[in-house]
């Protein structure tokens, strides 16, 4: 058997092994999410419900409150994990992350702007957040065209962070001057899965699945782009078109995730970092693994947010920031990026 075939078979077995492990861990976090937090029902009582007990009050808490929240975490985690992996591959930047590059901030700003202009928070999130994320993506694309910035991961992140901070400041000012907007969006803008409307479970999965289906068409071109623009062009691909389509899919994924749960940072950075550490940098492997790592990490963060300060809850964005900041430092150190 040729050496390349042996290596390919080993990589496939490695990918299957890691996917199986993450799938098992995802199942564990799903059970933990159903057993703990969100309602005055103990883990033992919740476990009894899962095994067939007809405790109506506990069933409502486990299936309606915790179950709905668990499904939303899986949807949002898949979207943010895939978006981060795609964005890093398209920009060839290990620090590219929707929350750091202004994509999530663009979605948040658009939602707050729409509400301040008279829209209702219950109906405006979905489409407006996607449009805001798309604008953020286009600005990221413009930044990558600036000389020296697109080739320097640290400067690109700094430019994205500055853009996010600017939009965040404007968003805060709008909330300060508009009490109605502040009341409607106070909890959403922090980033949380608590108290989300069940309506999100109807409209968010089709959008996420459509974006993931389109994403599969870009896997091979992105793998070719990783070899360099000249090689990708030689193989018949169009780098600019690939990047544009990738950023549009990222905008849809991040826009829907932000509409559902508010801006949640660092998941898009952590997921591809963990996936690459296990399967290498080939997007044909990391992308599928990210679809399992994303929901697992977000569910784990959500469970921690419920238990950290009981009987209260922390916004999940606080937990992801506490986990993501050390990962960002680790990525910068491991890549030996230039010192500013």
- What pLDDT digit, counting tens, does each position of 296-317 carry? 999 999 888 888 777 777 778 7
**pLDDT given for residue 39 in this prediction:** 63
At residue 97, does pLDDT exceed 80?
Answer: no
Residue of 290 and 229 predicted with greater confidence? 290
Angle between helices 267-279 and 3-35 in degrees, nearest 10 = 140
> Residue 242 class from Cβ within 10 Å (0-12 exposed, 13-18 middle, 19+ buried)?
buried
> DSSP assignment, residue 309?
T
Residue tagged 């449009």 (tokens): 131
Q: Which of 336, 338, 320 is nearest to 270 (CA)?
A: 320
- Per the rule left: phi > 0, alpha: psi between -120 and 50, beta: everything else, 37 is left
**pLDDT given for residue 340 in this prediction:** 36
At residue 253, does pLDDT exceed 80?
Answer: yes
Residue of 222 and 202 predicted with greater confidence? 222
At residue 215, does pLDDT exceed 50?
Answer: yes
**pLDDT given for residue 23 in this prediction:** 93
Identity of the highest mean pLDDT range in 111-120, 147-156, 171-180, 236-245: 236-245
**pLDDT given for residue 338 in this prediction:** 43
**pLDDT given for residue 21 in this prediction:** 92
Length of the chain: 340
Query: What pTM, to 2 d.p., does this model score?
Result: 0.83
Please provide the average confidence, as pLDDT, over all residues in the chain.
78
At residue 193, does pLDDT exceed 50?
Answer: yes
Mean pLDDT (whole number) for 280-288: 85
At residue 95, does pLDDT exceed 90?
Answer: no
State the pLDDT confidence band at 270, using cuts at 50, 70 and 90: confident
Q: Which of 21, 30, 80 is nearest to 320 (CA)?
A: 80
Q: Which of 86, 127, 137, 130 is nearest to 107 (CA)?
A: 130
State the pLDDT confidence band at 25, using cuts at 50, 70 and 90: very high
- What pLDDT digit, counting tens, does each position of 2-17 carry? 656 666 667 777 778 8
């Amino acid at each position: 058997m040729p050496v390349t075939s042996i290596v390919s078979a080993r990589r496939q077995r490695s990918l299957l092994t890691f996917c199986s492990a993450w799938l098992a861990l995802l199942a564990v976090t799903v059970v933990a999410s159903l057993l703990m937090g969100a309602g005055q029902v103990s883990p033992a009582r919740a476990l009894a419900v899962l095994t067939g007990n007809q405790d109506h009050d506990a069933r409502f808490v486990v299936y309606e409150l915790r179950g709905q929240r668990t499904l939303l975490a899986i949807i949002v985690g898949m979207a943010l994990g895939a978006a981060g992996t795609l964005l890093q591959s398209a920009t060839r930047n290990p620090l590219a992350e929707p929350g750091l590059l202004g994509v999530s901030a663009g979605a948040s700003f658009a939602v707050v702007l729409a509400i301040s202009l008279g829209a209702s928070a219950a109906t405006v999130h979905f489409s407006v957040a996607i449009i805001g994320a798309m604008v953020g993506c286009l600005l990221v694309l413009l930044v990558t065209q600036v000389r020296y910035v697109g080739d320097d991961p640290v400067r690109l992140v700094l430019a994205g962070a500055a853009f996010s901070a600017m939009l965040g400041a404007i968003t805060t000012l709008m909330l300060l001057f508009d009490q109605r907007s502040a009341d409607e969006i106070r909890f959403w803008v922090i980033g949380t899965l608590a108290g989300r409307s069940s309506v999100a479970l109807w409209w968010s999965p089709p959008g996420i699945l459509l974006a993931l289906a389109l994403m599969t068409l870009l896997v091979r071109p992105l793998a070719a782009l990783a070899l360099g623009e000249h090689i990708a062009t030689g193989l018949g691909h169009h780098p600019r078109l690939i990047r544009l389509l990738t950023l549009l899919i990222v905008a849809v994924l991040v826009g829907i995730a932000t509409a559902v749960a508010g801006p949640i940072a660092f998941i898009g950075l952590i997921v591809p970092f963990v996936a690459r550490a296990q399967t290498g940098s080939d997007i044909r492997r990391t992308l599928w693994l990210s679809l399992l790592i994303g929901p697992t990490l977000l569910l784990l963060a959500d469970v921690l947010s419920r238990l950290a300060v009981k009987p209260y809850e922390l916004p999940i964005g606080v937990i992801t920031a506490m986990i993501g900041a050390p990962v960002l430092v680790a990525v910068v150190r491991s890549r030996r990026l230039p010192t500013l």
